[in-house]
A and B are shown apart, each in its own frame.
Chain A
Amino acid sequence: MTEPLLKVEQLRKSFGAHDVLRGIDLAVKRGDVTCIVGPSGSGKSTLLRCLNHLETPTKGVVFLNGVPVGVRWKGNRLYQMSFNELARQRQRMGMVFQAFNLFPHKTVLENVTEAPILVRRIKRKAAEVEAMDLLERVGMAERANYYPPQLSGGQQQRAAIARSLAMKPDLMLFDEPTSALDPELVGEVLAVMRQLADDGMTMVVVTHEMGFARDVADHLVFMDGGVIIEEGAPADLLTHPHHERTKAFLSRVLNTV
């Protein structure tokens, strides 16, 4: 068996006295789509944000390609990475946010070319060619010169996906990418994500869209109370959940959808 692209070992995170993550172990295979579901407050966003060290874990390690994230050995001492060292690792993991977080003072095209020019240090012309390619893929090429506030939520989220892809990440993290959208706009974003999965991108998706989880995920993770309660192939987990808490959660979300 090959080394997983992303590996999480014994991850814990507390905010003050509040233990939000209480020992998470998880492996993500290259090319797989992993969906994380669970009730509100169960720690899904916190887990995702620990993967790229937007939150520093209290304990435990995240490995990307077998290399620990955010820390580094020097002889036999372990050091925290500086922000700028960490930045180099973070660009390997794209992230798409619930609130899009596009840069409002830049056009869609500039949003996409910004990081390649500054971080990958490619020429503006080359960055623009790549960016238009990506915007084509997410169906936003005609809106390349719009500013984010002039776009619908679905368009903004698709632009945000293109912006992340421009760094050619090994892995894409999605934190409820459709939760802030009007219902009629959810489909267009999910379609882009499906396409991305078909193209072989490794993805970790926190979502409430059970339909997407069922159809697209290779691996489904159910979290509650800061731990993984149950995980497995979506078909199994959705039809034959073992744990009471999984059953209760599924009956709640599947009935209301």
Chain B
Amino acid sequence: MKQPPLLQPSIHEVRPLPVPKIWHWIGGAILTLLAMGFVQVLVTNDNMQWGVVAKYLFSAQILSGLGMTLMLTVLAMVLGLAIGIILAIMRLSSSRVFQTTSWGWIWFFRGIPPLVQMIFWYNLALLLPQISIGIPFGPKLASWDTNLLITPFSAAIMGLAFTESAYAAEMIRAGIQAVSSGQTEAAATLGLTRGQTLRRVILPQALRIVIPPIGNDTISMLKFTSLVSVLALPDLLYSAQMVYARTYQTVPLLIVATIWYLVLTTVLTLLEHALEHRLKAEHQKSLAKTRSWFRPRFFGSGQRAY
């Protein structure tokens, strides 16, 4: 047998060298070049007009647009979630009428682009010049001029919130179904009414389950609000558009809007991560503690789990 060369150290004393990652280096070099090119365009291209960007970034008009964007996001989400909860409950009720109504609403508002809805709502007066409360085909109790009720703002909120309600309803329904039936039964044996069971036992647990997807929806909603510029509602984007319609500084003002959208989505993403992290930590803590009693229940004598 051939002896190993004397210079070779003992295999126990050296650590094996890692496999060379040649493609990481090549890919990294290409991407670095591209990134440098991008930065060069940003910095040296005079069309960017960074001075203009700086001038408008904190201008009153842009900031009030920012406020409008935030308000639309919050209102549309709150309203959308509230309607979504009602739709989810109707969908799960034993009444065919409620089920079908809820199904129809979800089908309708999930199927129509929010932009189309907003324009439609805004032009509702063309279809219904008057909006009245009363008995169909019967007497009217009160009526209003549609053009007074429908403002760009209310049309925008309806378009955004109704779309959101359709998506939220499906998420919340899944959340409610994920809460075990044992919870409802325990509440029933304690004498809680239906409403109490829903409010105090089921919804708090279901909403906890749907917090991560709702966070996601909020970020989408923030971006969808930019659609309201078609209604000439001064949100972040439309405020920027109004400025460049006057000054023709299109690119720098779009950059101003872009910066603010990125800031807002970053903040929301961080918030969402923090929240999810907390929920996950809670969940894991509870799982670790419950493992000992889950085992006999699910893998034990083959009994029906409640």
Contacts and interface: CB of A to CB of B under 8 A. Distances in A.
Interface residues of A, number: 42
Contacts of B185: 54, 95, 97, 101
Interface stretch (A57-65, A111-119, A193-201, A236-244): A111-119
A149 B186 contact: no
B293 A95 contact: no
Q: How large is the interface on B (under 10, 10 to 19, 20 to 34, 35 or more residues)?
A: 20 to 34
B296 A84 contact: no
A179 B301 contact: yes
Given A103-B183, A179-B301, A167 B191 contact: yes
Interface stretch (A72-80, A85-93, A130-138): A85-93
B19 interface: no
Contact of B189 (A45, A52, A150): A52
Contact of A163 (B190, B205, B297, B305): B190
Interface in B15-40: none
A104 B194 CA distance: 19
A176 B303 CA distance: 11
B190 A179 contact: no
Given A101-B186, A103-B201, A90 B191 contact: yes
Contacts of B301: 40, 179
A150 B292 CA distance: 11
**Which of A40, A87, A151, A164 has the most CB atoms of chain B within a 10 A radius of its CB?**
A87
A99 interface: yes
Given A84-B193, A93-B189, A151 B297 contact: no
Contact of B292 (A98, A105, A115, A152): A152
A181 interface: yes
B268 to A, nearest CB: 25
B192 A164 contact: no
B113 interface: no
B188 A54 contact: yes
Contact of B306 (A87, A97, A104): A97
A94 interface: yes
B305 A114 contact: no
A102 B180 CA distance: 11
Given A91-B191, A119-B192, A152-B292, A105 B286 contact: no
A45 B297 CA distance: 16
B247 interface: no
B65 to A, nearest CB: 40
Given A115-B190, A180-B296, A181-B293, A149 B286 contact: yes
B198 to A, nearest CB: 11
Interface of B: 180, 182-183, 185-186, 188-194, 196, 200-201, 204-205, 208, 285-287, 289-290, 292-293, 296-297, 300-301, 303-306
Give me the 5 closest cross-chain CB pairs, A-B, nearest first: A91-B191, A149-B286, A153-B293, A115-B190, A101-B186
29 contacts: A52-B188, A52-B189, A54-B185, A83-B194, A87-B192, A90-B189, A90-B191, A93-B189, A95-B186, A98-B303, A101-B183, A101-B186, A101-B306, A102-B186, A104-B286, A105-B204, A114-B200, A115-B192, A118-B192, A149-B285, A149-B290, A150-B286, A163-B190, A164-B190, A167-B190, A179-B301, A180-B293, A180-B297, A182-B296
Interface of A: 40, 45, 52, 54, 83-84, 87-88, 90-91, 93-95, 97-99, 101-105, 114-115, 118-119, 147, 149-153, 156, 160, 163-164, 167, 173, 176, 179-182
